[in-house]
Structure 1
Amino acid sequence: MKIVVFGASGGTGRETVRQGLAAGHHVTAVVRRTDALQAQSDLQIAVVPDLNDVRLVQEAMDGCDAVVSTLGTNARGPVTVCTDGVRSILLAMNRTGVRRLVVVSAHGAAESNDGSFYARSLRAMLGDKMRDKDEMEKLIRSSDVDWTIVRPPALTKKPHTGRYHAGTDLKIRLTSKISRADLADFLLREATAPAHTHQAPRIAV
């Protein structure tokens, strides 16, 4: 398959690219800087300095079978990177006819902000980032693409195991976690063999 990964230079994005290539897929990694990733066989690097540039976003995904977004930021204060990026992605998908979209959000966003101690704690610490994810999810749900929103808890740097649980009713606790590598595994599974279309599954070990 031809898979486009947005946010490819981040921790989860790099794992998604690595595992996608290892599985034999043709991967296009969308990054903001030319030096963000090293060239590899079967890896196409698309530089999009500004995700509001729909033309460049469209060029990056032209001819692909599925889009994976691992967009995020370490910036402090109000942010819109997820909202802006997904808005452009959805416009480009509409123009190119690409249907499959898998997006990383977070447990505690949108309707999963259930008043639990986990959700309240997360939003107290990362309120600006969570509001960005709230808005991103609204855009996705109002679109007509075949989307899946993936909601992980805390992310770790542990190695890929392929052993985790995922589902819309999965219980997330303060101690819940998932490695970026296993999250990438799930993203690729959903991109290539969808099991949660128009759903927002949670994932944890």
Structure 2
Amino acid sequence: MANVLILGANGKIARLAEQQLLDQTDHHLTLFLRKANRLTVTDSSRETVIEGDATDQAALVKALTGIEIVYANLGNQAIEKQAKSVVAAMDQVGVKRLIWISTLGIYDEVPGAFGKWNHEKLDGGYLETYAAAAKVIENSDLAYTIIRPAWLSNKDIVSYETTQRGESFKGTEVSRKSIADFVVKLINQPDKEVRHSVGVNQPNTDGDKPSFY
């Protein structure tokens, strides 16, 4: 049993991961989000809800009490600031294991026509901020895993493959269920993919853009 802190606990991937963790493990989940009333606790013996902002280092430090693994499902224009607060809080408390959701394209690793399309869609504030946040994580001494999903779908499927930083990104899309499954695997095997930045895609989805565009 591990004590897991989930930041951005109302996110779509986070909600899927939370349910899978409740169904398949005995981990205790601390659910951290800005508006706590958006969550409904289904197992009060295993879920603790904390209202707070991930840019608030003091709030993060308090939430990190007794925590062994942090899964950060954050994302907005403040993501670099969030990354700095998370790293600082984890350093202050001495928690090392971090699973961080990012996005594809932060290293200009997406090849061909899809790479060009991805830049056209995400340049101008999104890729830049996510790349800056990833750099904060990578420059830390944390035992991190950065996850770079392909374009996300709500398909009811768990099917994915991975690439590492320095390799060309594969595919164009992946289901949120697949990313949640990968997160759960890392929580269950926290020694895997440590200090790696991992691209995640659904096999056989190569093309100029995702199928739903």
TM-score range, shorter chain: 0.7 to 0.9
Is 1:14–2:10 an aligned residue pair?
Answer: no
1:112, distance to aligned residue in structure 2 (A): 3.8
1:114, distance to aligned residue in structure 2 (A): 5.3
Query: 158, 176, 181: which one pairs with 1:180?
Result: 176
Which residue does 2:49 correspond to in 1?
Answer: 45
Q: Is the Cα–Cα contact under 8 Å of residues 178 and 203 in structure 1 kept in the other structure?
A: yes
Distance in structure 2 (CA, Å) of the matches to 1:115 and 1:170: 6
Distance in structure 1 (CA, Å) of the matches to 2:109 and 2:199: 13
Distance in structure 2 (CA, Å) of the matches to 1:170 and 1:60: 37
Aligned length: 194
Structure 1 residues 190-199 or 99-108, which shifts more? 190-199
1:170, distance to aligned residue in structure 2 (A): 6.4
Distance in structure 2 (CA, Å) of the matches to 1:112 and 1:5: 28
1:90, distance to aligned residue in structure 2 (A): 0.7
TM-align CA RMSD: 1.7
Query: 61, 64, 83: which one pairs with 1:61?
Result: 64
Secondary structure (helix, strand or coil) at the match of 2:6 reads strand
1:152, distance to aligned residue in structure 2 (A): 0.8
Distance in structure 1 (CA, Å) of the matches to 2:11 and 2:138: 25
Q: Is the Cα–Cα contact under 8 Å of residues 170 and 203 in structure 1 kept in the other structure?
A: no
Query: 153, 157, 168: which one pairs with 1:156?
Result: 153
Distance in structure 2 (CA, Å) of the matches to 1:200 and 1:116: 21
**Unpaired runs of at least 5, structure 2:** 203-213
Secondary structure (helix, strand or coil) at the match of 1:200 reads strand
Secondary structure (helix, strand or coil) at the match of 2:21 reads helix
Q: So what's the TM-score if we normalise by structure 1? A: 0.87
Larger-gyration structure (1/2): 2
Distance in structure 2 (CA, Å) of the matches to 1:103 and 1:19: 18
Secondary structure (helix, strand or coil) at the match of 1:201 reads strand
Distance in structure 1 (CA, Å) of the matches to 2:42 and 2:157: 21
**CA shift digits 1:39-92 (9 cap, x unpaired):** 2211111111x322111111112211111111124xxxxx22x21211111111
Which residue does 1:76 correspond to in 2?
Answer: none
**CA shift digits 1:85-116 (9 cap, x unpaired):** 1111111111111110111111101x244564
Which residue does 1:124 correspond to in 2?
Answer: 120
Secondary structure (helix, strand or coil) at the match of 2:38 reads coil
Distance in structure 2 (CA, Å) of the matches to 1:171 and 1:53: 34
Secondary structure (helix, strand or coil) at the match of 1:125 reads helix
Q: Is the Cα–Cα contact under 8 Å of residues 63 and 96 in structure 1 kept in the other structure?
A: no
1:130, distance to aligned residue in structure 2 (A): 1.2
Structure 1 residues 87-96 or 111-120, which shifts more? 111-120
Q: Is the Cα–Cα contact under 8 Å of residues 5 and 16 in structure 1 kept in the other structure?
A: no
Distance in structure 1 (CA, Å) of the matches to 2:157 and 2:68: 24
Q: So what's the TM-score if we normalise by structure 2? A: 0.84
